[in-house]
Amino acid sequence: MNVRALEAELRRRLDEQGLADVNPRVVVVTRLIPEACGTTCNERVERIHSTEGAYILRIPFRDPNTGQVLRKWVSRFDLWPYVERFALDCERELRAELGGKPDLIIGNYSDGNLVASLLAHRMFVTQCNIAHALEKTKYQDADIKWADLDPTYHFSCQFLADLVAMNHADFIITSTYQEIAGNETLVGQYESMKAFTMPKLFRVVEGIDIYDTKFNIVSPGADPDIYFPFSEAERRLTSLHGDMRELLFGSGEAPTAVSTLDDPSKPLLFSMARLDRVKNLTGLVEWYAHSERLRNVCNLVIVGGVIDACHTGDREEAAECEKMHRLIKEHNLRGSLRWVVAQKNRVRNGELYRFIADTRGAFVQPALYEAFGLTVVEAMTCGLPTFATAHGGPSEIIRHGRSGFHIDPYHGEQAANLMADFFERCAADPSAWDRVSQEGLARIRAHYTWEIYANRLLTLSSVYR
């Protein structure tokens, strides 16, 4: 969520009501991590850049038995023992910060929504639920096979937390229709919670009513100060271009990159995501490795995760990291692929999209399932032609063949051929690249901005109060 857009919309509405002297307060509550590894996650309060009064309030996890503060990061799959104590600490801290209780609580993701439910129940406050991504549809047969998956993912806790939060919420916001009810071939995220069985644990016969009027579709956008078209030359961060060139085409490798590109003149096929199984970056590398056509017409650049499995505490990321190294070696991808560690500076990433657009490249989002697809919106906002999974939200963002292309992550050869077709067509007719770029920009401007999002969210908060 874009806090700046939300604060600006609050101020606009107050001004319309003659209350311009009233200062709205937006507080983002998250976890404080004492051993923050060079980040600001150990700071209790942090102002949010480019806002007038919004800030982050961080509260630590505590051991539920001893009360001792957890000093290190904990995976989202392993945090359930600490959530209820965290919610109680949040209530105390928020009442002290605000001198009372908030008017609206917005939860995000499974753990955040459970905390929001507990807070809303205790403080009698309107609650908005934003799932972001329900894990149940990401992992095949996650309910039936829960006992096998539970030691790693703790779905027995997460699915129950999801049910509690979505039923307690006053209203629910989804990014796309598919999140609610799916399509002809795929079950929706919320639809999957309607009825299911976790053998020897419990059976859900009426988990959620997907026709409930609490469901609303409000699609997010990309920050316009960071993500803007590559053609807006006067706004470009040209001072970063030397670093970008080195990042993508340089000869340096470890500890920041693996492999180099032998032919920098080729356009770049680019992907940026977390390095986990669902985001399917290793799947993309396999498609590329097996497609001689695609390897002939473009270089592949992957930005995501760590390049040394020892540098992560996330089990799934470590496994995908090892798989990536294995694929690069088995398919002799050095020279045509470059893998760069995760880039966490959003301002630099915005210019990275545009820099790749300068090469007449394309962005690909190959996830097995994607609830919405914010990176798809970011890439399209920067004018970069985009290929994205047909499983989930991107299928609604993109109009296939016009503003981008849908790919099926379970049919890699077909996806690789579609991308090769595009690059071959653009080589023969450069205007083909321009048409897709412009159609993508038009699609984003009409439907996916944070200003639209903030307006609809606050309207809904008034409706459901």
Q: Give residue-wise pLDDT tens across range 413-445.
A: 999 999 999 999 999 999 999 999 999 999 999
Percent of the chain with pLDDT over 70: 100
228 is a domain residue = no
What lies within 8 Å, CB to CB, of 297 at 6+ separation is 266, 267, 420, 423, 424, 427
Residue 133 reports pLDDT greater than 90 = no
Sign of CA pseudo-dihedral 335, 337, 342, 346: positive
Largest CA distance in the chain: 68
Name the residue range of residue 354's domain: 233-446
Residue 95 shares a structural domain with residue 242: no
> Whose CA is closest to 231, among 358, 349, 346?
358
Residue 281 shares a structural domain with residue 331: yes
C-alpha Rg value of the chain to the nearest Å: 23
Residue 240 shares a structural domain with residue 156: no
413 is a domain residue = yes
Residue 185 reports pLDDT greater than 80 = no
Amino acid, single-letter form, for residue 461: S
pTM of the model: 0.79
Which token pair is 446?
Answer: 């009409």
Residue 21 shares a structural domain with residue 38: yes
- CA 164 – CA 170 distance, rounded (Å): 12
226 is a domain residue = no
Residue 60 shares a structural domain with residue 82: yes
Average pLDDT over residues 98-122: 96
65 is a domain residue = yes
What pLDDT score was predicted for residue 288?
A: 98
Residue 150 reports pLDDT greater than 90 = yes
Please, how many CA atoms are within 13 Å of residue 15, restricted to the half-sphere of its CB?
A: 6
What pLDDT score was predicted for residue 333?
A: 96
Which token pair is 298?
Answer: 């473009």
> Whose CA is closest to 29, among 16, 39, 44?
44
Residue 304 shares a structural domain with residue 323: yes
- CA 187 – CA 302 distance, rounded (Å): 30
What pLDDT score was predicted for residue 389?
A: 96
247 is a domain residue = yes
227 is a domain residue = no
Q: ∠ CA 196-204-217 to the nearest 5 degrees? A: 75
What pLDDT score was predicted for residue 275?
A: 96
60 is a domain residue = yes
Residue 131 reports pLDDT greater than 90 = no
What confidence tier does 183 reach under pLDDT thresholds 50, 70, 90?
confident
What DSSP string runs through 102-118? Answer: -SEEEEEHHHHHHHHHH
What pLDDT score was predicted for residue 138?
A: 81
Which token pair is 317?
Answer: 């990321």
Residue 207 shares a structural domain with residue 247: no
What confidence tier does 392 reach under pLDDT thresholds 50, 70, 90?
confident
What pLDDT score was predicted for residue 182?
A: 83
What DSSP string runs through 69-94? Answer: BP-S---TTS-GGGHHHHHHHHHHHH
Residue 211 shares a structural domain with residue 238: no
What pLDDT score was predicted for residue 371?
A: 81
Which token pair is 408?
Answer: 């099926």
pLDDT in tens, 316-334: 999 999 999 999 999 999 9
271 is a domain residue = yes
Query: What's the domain count of the chain?
Result: 2
Residue listed under structure tokens 């009810």: 181
Percent of the chain with pLDDT over 90: 88
- In the DSSP assignment, the letter for residue 334 is B
Residue 155 shares a structural domain with residue 261: no
Residue 458 reports pLDDT greater than 80 = yes
What confidence tier does 78 reach under pLDDT thresholds 50, 70, 90?
very high
Average pLDDT over residues 245-266: 93
Q: ∠ CA 49-53-54 to the nearest 5 degrees? A: 65
What confidence tier does 412 reach under pLDDT thresholds 50, 70, 90?
very high
pLDDT in tens, 235-250: 999 999 999 999 999 9
Residue 168 shares a structural domain with residue 238: no
Residue 29 shares a structural domain with residue 96: yes
- pLDDT averaged over every residue in the chain: 94
What pLDDT score was predicted for residue 360?
A: 96
Residue 298 shares a structural domain with residue 442: yes
Alpha-carbon separation of residue 453 from 113, 215, 450 (angstroms) = 19, 15, 5
The long-range contacts involving 377-380, CB below 8 angstroms and separated by at least 24 positions, are 377/220, 377/221, 377/222, 377/227, 377/444, 377/448, 378/222, 378/227, 378/349, 378/350, 378/353, 379/353, 380/404, 380/440, 380/441, 380/443, 380/444
What pLDDT score was predicted for residue 124?
A: 96
User: What CATH number is attached to the domain comprising 328?
Assistant: 3.40.50.2000
- Across-strand partners of 56? 28, 46
- In the DSSP assignment, the letter for residue 328 is H
